[in-house]
Amino acid sequence: MIILFIGDVFGTPGRDALFHGLYSLKKRENVDICIANGENAASNGRGLSGRDARDIMESGVDVITMGNHVWSCREFEEFADRLPIVRPANIGRGSSGKKYIVTEVCGKKVGITNIEGRTFIDIVGDDLFACADDMVAAMKAEGAEVTVVDFHAEATSEKKLLAMYLDGKVSAVIGTHTHVQTADETVLPGGTAFITDAGMTGISRESIIGMAYKGVYEKYALGRKASFEPVKKGTLEIRGVVIDVDDVTGLARSVKRVAEVVTLPE
């Protein structure tokens, strides 16, 4: 089975990149299921609206994962239960939204869950290790043979720690949140694919992780009150990873980075 995991879809440019570039990428890589982190997909780069979710799915994404901006769009709880969207399982007790999804792909059941980190992040969730154990057990109880964890976290060490903790128990642990694609993709000794961060989908090269230079500079260099504005023009890219999972063992055979430049039609 071939899984395409797409890093944080940022704003309108990120959705445009998917709309114009995802089909050809999926076809070239023979993708069976596509998962994308959508917690920054709103036009302002924070949260996910119902329209954003529909745009992402109509582009060819099968399951959307979230992160610390999960509650940034107030309407999220109105549609979260109806769509194939997974919110972080260890935050928001009693809130709407699925903690995991099990779906059938190519005759195999695939489970996807989402965990929030606890280090250097604005929403501190419950014990991520206990939560991961619970989610893996729940997915496998529903027959999941392939399992993917989106670990939405800031600290690189925390991401590697959870990946090693889950090595051999899941097919992949994919880091999201920092928007910078790392070069450490690997299959761990137990057969779990891992990368510290899948990267950002949208305009990365001409932005500060999606935002315009001016506002970020004024806040951090000058100490002024400033608003962050998403960059709207620049190089569109789809960033993420392609994971080849063994159909028999449910463990990863390989993982490789994707950095696809997308050209808009004139």
Residues with a known catalytic role: 69
Residue 170 contacts residue 147 (beta carbons within 8 Å): yes
> CB under 8 Å to 43, separation ≥6 — which residues?
11, 12, 52, 230
Residue 18 contacts residue 53 (beta carbons within 8 Å): no
Pairing type for strands 172-176 and 2-6 reads unpaired
The CB-side HSE value for 90 (13 A sphere, CA atoms) comes to 23
Give the span between the Cα atoms of 255 and 257, in whole angstroms: 7
Q: What angle do CA 49, 76, 154 make, to 5 degrees?
A: 90
